[in-house]
Amino acid sequence: MNVLVLMILLPLLAAAVVVYAPARRAKWVALTGTLAAGLACLLAFFAFDWADAATIQFQASRPWLPTLGLELSVGVDSVALLLIALTVLLGPICVLASFTGITGKVKTYYAWLLVLQAAMTGVFAARDLIVFYTCFEFTLVPMYVLIALYGSSNRAKAATKFFLFTFTGSVIALAGLIYVAWFNATLVGYDPALLHGTWTFDIATLERAAREMSASQQAWVLAALLAGFAVKVPLFPVHTWLPLAHTEAPTAGSVILAGVLLKLGTYGLYRFVLPFVPDAVVEYAWLIAGVSIVGILYAGLVCWVQTDIKKLIAYSSVAHLGFCVLGLVALNSAGLTGAVLYMLNHGLSTGALFLMVGMMYERYHTRSMDEVGGLASKMPIWSSFMLFFVLASVGLPGLNGFVSEFLCLLGAFQAGDWGGAVGGTGLFTLGPWYAAVAGLGMIIAAMYLLYMTGRIVFGEYREPAGHHEHDVLPTDLNWREIGLLLPLAALCLGLGVYPTPVLRALEPCVDQTIAIVTGAADSGVEIVRGGETEPRLVEGGRP
């Protein structure tokens, strides 16, 4: 069986078992399911041909709705595989993190958590537009349930807002994607009588066809896709669902939200926006970058005045992903590599920060920095981990965040008109000013994260009124909690001092994307615009 299909089916199978197993076994079943998926992912890592990372591997497809050219098709390149690895890694961690936090309705909880993992894996593995979109939208349902049933006091509002907000955006994105498919269908010589076989939602095919769109068509498709993906990222000013959803979500929900769900937005930008409408991206890169930079500074300053730790970290995601999108639209090697790496790194470090806050919340039942603080004297292990992940998030060199942040900024910096200088790149989408202003975000990040650390970790010990020791959890972290943090910490350090394997793996994919954007790509299919009749697409290059 295809390893990708396996990675999608295993959690689903586990979800089914959870439903029928006794409630006290639910968490163990979920853990087994996620670990099995992890094993499959490990297998995929070994089987993947890293030397040929840009080629779609582990391809499998099965007809779904032949009349519309729909296929259940999967396949990954290194970017997708690494993001799947992030998803699969966070799976068991989220299950472990919920062991003591979730006490009621456990079966529903773990079942939806597993379904969510399957859906997210599906998003990254999809090679058919509709499969992608189905999974993309389907992630909303489990997340909605997780927030609405297991969240804090304001959960109903948060869940609804989260659902409606992102759903609205995605529907517009769907319109854009379908337009591309329709464009492709007409390009082949669309004939209502010969519907069969001319419609396709195969991503690779559409990628080649979409580039033939005129400038205005590209611009409209860009606008539509941005509407969906920018909400998900989220970019300023469509980010307001995020702080609410994050603060109300249970710990695992926040971890997945920050770790993977936000990456669906940036992945969408990388996978669809850049290759589908490259000319429009080049033209509007300044705008997207500008919005990202506004987000970096704006969200950073908003972070600084928060008292709710979860809200602070939620807003920090807006700021952080601004760097990621900035790198994406720099459209050069450093920027793109940095952006993809940023997706992974942000998932690790911010996911870990939410875990840390969750562990604190379980003990003190508050997220307010006014009520709790100075935990270094009470919880040294927790504090050490907290400081570590804060530093990863701040972008301290030697930890993972730095590599991606620096590359994103360097990418933006390089993407200016440097005349004869050797280090410039071909496209002049951005320039040094973008990097300089975005770089202010590095200072602001230090301000708000150290402000938080100063209050929560350091200072005189403070606890909320009426606080009493948890009856299950010890004062400091237990082995389960340490165990689930250690892999994240190891990866943060590992990717900080030796990111080379990942950089190597991303290089071919990034090169390919850049070739597409700069128009140097050899599409393999020659598209001939036939005289006055409909444009025709001819396989093999000869009409």
Partner 1 sequence: MSGIERVIQTIGETVVVGAQHGGGHLATVEPGPTWMALAPFLPLVGVVICLICALVPRLRTSKLPAWGTVASLAVAFGLILATWLSLDGRTLNVHAWEWINLSWGDGPGRALIANFAFHIDSLTVLWMLFVTGLGALIALYAVEYMEHDVGLGYCRFFAGFSLFVFSMSCLVMADNLLLMYLGWEGVGFCSYLLIGYFYKKPSAVAAAKKAFIVNRIGDLGLALGIMLIFVQFGTLEYGELFANERLLHYKDLALAGDFAQIPFNVQLIALLLMVGAFGKSAQFPLYVWLPDAMEGPTPVSALIHAATMVTAGVFLIARMFPIFLVSEHALPTVAWIGTITALLAATIGMAQFDIKRIMAYSTVSQLGYMFAGLGVLTSVGAAFHVFTHAFFKATLFLCCGAVMHGFAGQLDLRKVSGLRSQKGWMIVTLAMLIACLNLSGFPLTGGFFSKDMILAEAFVTPGFRVIGWILLLTAGLTAYYTFRVFFRVFVGPVDYEPGDEHHGEPGSFHPHPPGWAVNLVLAILGVGSLLVAGVYFVGGEHGWVGSMIHDSSAHYQADGTHAGTLFGQDPHTIMYYVSAAIGLAGIAIAWWLHYAGRTEAATCRADRLAFTGSRVARWARDKWYVDEFYDFLFRRPLWLLGQVFYFIDRWFVDGLVNVFGILPRLTGWAVRPSQSGLLHGYALGTIGGTAVLLLIVWLVT
The per-residue b/e assignment along 495-505, b for 16 or more CB within 10 angstroms, e otherwise, is bbeebeebbeb
Q: How many residues bind partner 1 (CB under 8 A)?
A: 70
Quick one: DSSP state of residue 65?
E
Asked whether the beta carbons of 290 and 334 are under 8 A apart, the reply is: no
Other Cβ atoms less than 10 A from the Cβ of 466: the count is: 6
Scored b (16 or more CB within 10 A) or e, 175-192 reads ebbebbbebbbebbebee
CA distance linking residue 215 with residue 221, whole number of Å:
10
**Binding track, positions 495-524, relative to partner 1; x by CB under 8 A:** --xxxx--xx--x--xx--x----------
Whether 206 and 181 have beta carbons less than 8 Å apart is answered as yes
The smaller minimum CB distance to partner 1, of residues 186 and 384, is found at 384
Binding marks (x or -) toward partner 1, 471..500, rule CB under 8 A? Answer: --------------------------xxxx
- For residue 508, give both structure tokens: 């071919």
Q: Count other C-beta atoms under 10 Å from residue 481's C-beta.
A: 24
Of residues 396, 473, 521, 527, which one binds partner 1 by CB under 8 A?
396
Q: What single-letter DSSP state applies at residue 53?
A: T
Cβ 290 to partner 1, closest distance in Å?
16
Interactions with partner 1, residue window 14-73 (CB under 8 A) = none
Structure tokens at 384: 């050490």
* From 140, 257, 403, 537, residue interacting with partner 1 (rule: CB under 8 A): 403
Residues 327-386 that bind partner 1 (CB under 8 A): 332-334, 337, 374, 376-377, 380
Q: Which of 151, 116, 155, 385 is nearest to 256 (CA)?
A: 116
Which CB sits closer to partner 1, 262 or 502?
A: 502
Question: In this structure, how many other beta carbons lie within 10 angstroms of the beta carbon of residue 430?
Answer: 28
Establish if 293 lies at the interface with partner 1 (CB under 8 A).
no
Residue 244: name the closest of 152, 319, 365 by CA. 152
Interatomic CA distance for residues 377 and 458, integer angstroms: 8
- Of 69-77, 200-208, 301-309, 525-533, the window that binds partner 1 (rule: CB under 8 A) is 301-309
Closer CB to partner 1, 290 or 459, in the complex: 459
Output the CA torsion sign for 61, 66, 70, 72: negative
Q: Which long-range CB contacts under 8 A does 470-473 form with residues at least 24 apart?
A: 470/362, 470/363, 472/100, 473/100, 473/362, 473/363
Q: Pick from 63, 66, 197, 454: which binds partner 1 (CB under 8 A)?
A: 454
Nearer to partner 1 among residue 254 and residue 425 (C-beta): 425
DSSP 371: T
In the complex, the smallest distance separating the C-beta of residue 495 from partner 1, rounded to whole angstroms, is: 11
- Bridge partners of 72, per DSSP, are 62
Should residue 301 be labelled a site residue for partner 1 when binding is judged by CB under 8 A? Answer: yes
418: contact with partner 1 by CB under 8 A? yes
**Segment 165-184, which members bind partner 1 (CB under 8 A)?**
165
Span near partner 1 by CB under 8 A; candidates 78-86, 139-147, 265-273, 400-408? 400-408
Nearer to partner 1, 120 or 410 (CB): 410
Residues 238-257 binding partner 1 (CB under 8 A) are 238-241
Binding residues among 81-120 for partner 1 as defined by CB under 8 A: none
Q: Nearer to partner 1 by C-beta: 98 or 425?
A: 425
Nearer to partner 1 by C-beta: 454 or 464?
Answer: 454
Question: Which residues of this chain interact with partner 1, rule CB under 8 A?
Answer: 161, 164-165, 237-241, 298, 301-306, 332-334, 337, 374, 376-377, 380, 391, 396-398, 402-403, 406-407, 409-410, 413-414, 418-425, 432, 435-436, 439-440, 442-443, 446-447, 450-451, 454, 457-461, 497-500, 503-504, 507, 510-511, 514
